[in-house]
């Protein structure tokens, strides 16, 4: 199977070393983190024997549990909304022509490229004004918390969802929709029975990606979260200020495992098409 | 009798581009009708207009006497076999075939029964539970046919139905399509860019170019009496000998030689004499059949096809191609041989632009 463009001799050896080097660079910190989360010692970095105490502390702490439940609520809510809006945006961009389409297309990618801090400051300003206006007009007295965090997460997740769904739609022939309409399907039925089943893997992939991003976000969430509303990553960030304990390791490992599961699921979902 | 499909003054514009230009066309019930032309000639757009996937900019379109110009596809008694079949990849063969019936709200039991009957008709028994991706090109083609025919359309539209198949399979499917059309007895309107396919399969052919309908006739008429230069050139092989009309019986070729050629053009019209390679005959120089038209030249190339020989002939003012059947006793000429090309004056046609 070897071809003439494959590296040979010292070049091949160097590439191997490079490969291992890169893996070490990536994963050594993660391995350390996982190991020390089981360490029975208050000092991070000294091994004091195996224990599950830190994990127990994490699940016993009402603050941590509260933050976890906040994170999950926001992740689920913002994912649902951004999947619906993102999929609709993807459909409109792939299947229709309208005035200002190019501008809409370019603007849709903006949340992916602007730095988190910029987005966070924008959101902070926006909610400061917006909630005041709502308060003045309707006397709602909204406070920062669930709604402000969710809306912020929806704002950047729409972009990611629509990118993923669009890639899927682009790979689907418009022929299929025409065939459905030729076979007596209404527009809606053509979507329901033909387009939707075709793009489900893309939607699922986008949803899992959105959920991961929502669960992991610190910067934006920290800016727009109000008092009493902490998500898990923000809680971890807060713990560090009080001193690093292996509890943080345990929390981080838990988040890591959940995130990795979601990413793997997202990849699997997007691959389904090839076998289907 | 009302036609199955009737187009009058149909024009379709996409922005500034005129895809179909003022087409009048009438397709009879039970006819195998081909729309032939080079890519971009408007044949597919015409088919899509009949299907209802596009709406005409101008003109009227009726199916069995009912005006359908702006009706959506679901309100027309026609179904389409798409170019790459457009089978639903997530559905089985049975579900693909039953899709149209399901959308029309026909009950599950009937849908299943009629779908199975249709699957049997196209000889896919036993494959009902397969997914399209698990089938060969030829089988997918049959699924597409079954999926359209199960709805009992009054007209079946086919967009380059055999384009994606290899040569051998294509020839098999040509015969099969023809048989299927006789069995179901409805009109098949099919689009193709392959003139041979159109000639073999159709009862009548419409030749299109640049959005315009050039000629509608039987394969024989199209081949023997092409309406103009484009049709003569596009259908089959031909030599076009440029000339000017002298009278209704005579054309003066570019080199000044008069040849007998019945034509309907007025004197002085610039025309071309269309001489098919197999209608010309070569003999040693100076020999030709009594009463036949003839020109002198020499053999430049010889291509051996087994059953025939193709001679490339150099005349003083142009090149010709002549096809001679290869059978025992036929004289073979070598490159450089001086010869006379002759032809029966009734075997040619005269065309203008």
Q: Is the pLDDT of residue A44 over 80?
A: no
Say whether A182 and B83 touch across the interface (CB within 8 A).
no
Kindly state the tokens that stand for B279: 């209608």
Distance CA B158, CA B344 (A): 39
Q: Is the pLDDT of residue A231 over 60?
A: yes
How close does chain A come to B195, measured CA to CA in Å? 25
Q: Which of B146, B170, B131 is nearest to B81 (CA)?
A: B146
Is the CB of B134 inside 8 Å of chain A's CB atoms? no
Distance CA B84, CA B163 (A): 8
- Give the nearest partner residue to A194 out of B88, B104, B148, using CB atoms: B88
Write down all domains in chain A, each with its CATH number in brackets.
57-271 (1.10.3720.10)
Smallest CA–CA distance from B88 into chain A, residue: A176
Confidence of residue A128 (pLDDT cuts 50, 70, 90): confident
Average pLDDT, chain A: 85
Confidence of residue A79 (pLDDT cuts 50, 70, 90): very high
Strand (E) or helix (H) holding B181? helix B167-184
Q: Is the pLDDT of residue A276 over 50?
A: no
Backbone angles phi, psi at A105, to 5 degrees: -60, -50
Which residues lie below 8 Å from residue B147, measured CB to CB, with a gap of 6+?
Answer: A183, B79, B87, B96, B97, B99, B100
pLDDT along chain B (353 residues), means of 10: 89 93 94 93 94 94 91 92 92 95 94 94 91 91 94 94 84 89 93 91 94 95 93 92 91 89 89 93 89 92 92 92 88 90 92 88
Confidence of residue A238 (pLDDT cuts 50, 70, 90): confident
Which residues lie below 8 Å from residue B239, measured CB to CB, with a gap of 6+?
Answer: B274, B275, B276, B277, B280, B320, B321
Confidence of residue A275 (pLDDT cuts 50, 70, 90): very low
Please report the pLDDT score of residue B4 as a whole number: 92
Distance CA A137, CA A121 (A): 24
The residue of B50, B54, B74, B163 whose CB has the most chain A CBs within 10 angstroms, and thus the best one to mutate to test that interface, is: B74
HSE-up (13 A, CA, CB side) for residue B344: 4
Task: Work out whether strand B293-304 and strand B66-67 pair parallel, antiparallel, or are unpaired.
Answer: unpaired
Q: Is the pLDDT of residue A1 over 60?
A: no
Say whether B53 and A178 touch across the interface (CB within 8 A).
yes
Say whether A193 and B72 touch across the interface (CB within 8 A).
no
Q: For domain B237-351, say whether CATH 2.40.10.10 is its number.
A: no
Please report the pLDDT score of residue B300 as a whole number: 94
In B97-163, at which residue ranges do the beta strands (DSSP E only) sit?
155-159
Strand (E) or helix (H) holding B69? none
Q: Considering the domain delimited by B5-225, tell me its CATH architecture.
A: 3-Layer(aba) Sandwich (3.40)
Is the CB of B136 inside 8 Å of chain A's CB atoms? no
Kindly state the tokens that stand for A34: 């996982």
Please report the pLDDT score of residue A147 as a whole number: 85
- Give the C-alpha distances (Å, rounded to integers) separating A71 from A68, A170, A231, A262, B253: 5, 33, 5, 15, 89
Does B115 or A205 have the greater pLDDT score?
B115
pTM value? Answer: 0.79
Q: Where are the domains of chain B?
A: 5-225, 237-351
Smallest CA–CA distance from A274 into chain B, residue: B133
Residue count of chain A: 276
Strand (E) or helix (H) holding A137? helix A116-138
Say whether A181 and B89 touch across the interface (CB within 8 A).
no
Please report the pLDDT score of residue A174 as a whole number: 84
In this structure, the number of other CB atoms found within 10 A of the CB of residue A77 comes to 18
Q: Is the pLDDT of residue A54 over 70?
A: yes
Please report the pLDDT score of residue A141 as a whole number: 66
Strand (E) or helix (H) holding B26? strand B17-27
The mean pLDDT of A9-28, rounded to a whole number, is 89
Q: Which of B2, B4, B1, B3 is nearest to B157 (CA)?
A: B4
Distance CA B93, CA B103 (A): 16
Q: Is the pLDDT of residue A35 over 90?
A: no
Tens digits of per-residue pLDDT, A156-194? Answer: 999 999 999 998 898 888 889 999 999 999 989 999 999
């Amino acid at each position: 199977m070897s071809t003439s463009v494959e590296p040979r001799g010292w070049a091949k050896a160097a590439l191997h070393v490079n490969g291992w080097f890169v893996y070490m660079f990536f994963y050594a910190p993660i391995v350390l983190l996982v190991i020390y989360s089981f360490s029975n010692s208050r000092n991070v970095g000294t091994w004091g024997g195996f224990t599950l105490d830190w994990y127990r502390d994490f699940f016993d702490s009402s603050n941590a549990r509260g933050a976890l439940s906040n994170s999950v609520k926001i992740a689920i809510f913002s994912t649902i909304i951004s999947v619906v809006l993102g999929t609709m945006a993807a459909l409109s961009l792939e299947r229709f022509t309208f005035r200002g389409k190019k501008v809409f297309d370019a603007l849709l990618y903006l949340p992916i490229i602007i730095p988190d801090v910029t987005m966070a400051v924008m959101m902070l300003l926006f909610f400061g004004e917006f909630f005041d206006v709502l308060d003045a007009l309707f006397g709602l007295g909204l406070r920062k918390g669930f709604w402000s965090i969710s809306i912020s997460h929806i704002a950047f997740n729409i972009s990611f969802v629509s990118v993923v769904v669009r890639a899927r739609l682009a790979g689907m022939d418009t022929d299929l929709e025409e065939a459905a309409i030729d076979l007596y399907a209404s527009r809606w039925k053509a979507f329901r029975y033909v387009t939707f089943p075709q793009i489900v893997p893309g939607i699922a992939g986008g949803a899992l990606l959105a959920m991961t991003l929502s669960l992991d976000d610190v910067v934006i969430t920290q800016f727009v979260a109000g008092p009493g509303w902490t998500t898990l990553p923000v809680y971890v960030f807060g713990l560090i200020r009080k001193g690093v304990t292996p509890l943080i390791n345990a929390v981080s490992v838990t988040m890591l495992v959940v995130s990795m599961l979601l990413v793997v699921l997202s990849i699997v979902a997007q691959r389904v098409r090839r076998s289907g | 009798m009302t036609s199955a499909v009737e187009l009058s003054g149909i024009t379709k514009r996409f922005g500034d581009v005129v895809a179909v230009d003022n087409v009048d066309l009438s397709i009879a019930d039970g006819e195998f009708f081909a729309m032939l032309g080079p890519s971009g000639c408007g044949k597919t757009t015409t088919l899509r207009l009949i299907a209802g996937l596009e709406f005409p900019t101008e003109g009227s379109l009726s199916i069995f006497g009912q005006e359908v110009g702006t009706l959506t596809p679901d309100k027309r008694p026609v179904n389409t076999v798409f170019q790459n079949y457009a089978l639903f990849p997530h559905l089985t063969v049975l579900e693909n075939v039953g899709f149209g019936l399901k959308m029309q709200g026909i009950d599950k039991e009937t849908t299943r029964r009629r779908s199975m009957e249709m699957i049997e008709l196209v000889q896919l028994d036993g494959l009902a539970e397969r997914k399209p991706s698990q089938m060969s090109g030829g089988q997918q083609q049959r699924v597409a046919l079954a999926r359209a025919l199960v709805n009992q359309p009054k007209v079946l539209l086919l967009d380059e139905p055999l384009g994606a198949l290899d040569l051998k399979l294509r020839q098999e499917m040509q015969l099969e399509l023809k048989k299927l059309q006789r069995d179901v007895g409805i009109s098949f309107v099919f689009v193709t860019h392959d003139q041979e396919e159109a000639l073999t399969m159709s009862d009548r052919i419409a030749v299109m170019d640049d959005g315009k309908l050039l000629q509608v006739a039987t394969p024989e008429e199209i081949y023997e009496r092409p309406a103009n230069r484009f049709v003569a050139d596009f259908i089959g092989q031909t030599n076009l000998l440029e000339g000017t009309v002298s009278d209704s019986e005579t054309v003066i070729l570019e080199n000044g030689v008069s040849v007998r050629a019945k034509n309907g053009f007025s004197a002085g019209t610039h025309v071309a004499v269309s001489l098919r390679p197999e209608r010309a005959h070569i003999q040693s120089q100076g020999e030709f059949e009594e009463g036949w038209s003839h020109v002198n030249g020499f053999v430049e190339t010889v291509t051996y096809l087994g059953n025939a020989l193709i001679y490339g002939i150099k005349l003083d003012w142009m090149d010709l191609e002549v096809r001679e059947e290869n059978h025992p006793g036929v004289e073979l000429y070598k490159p450089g041989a001086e010869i006379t090309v002759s032809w029966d004056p009734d075997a040619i046609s005269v065309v203008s632009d």
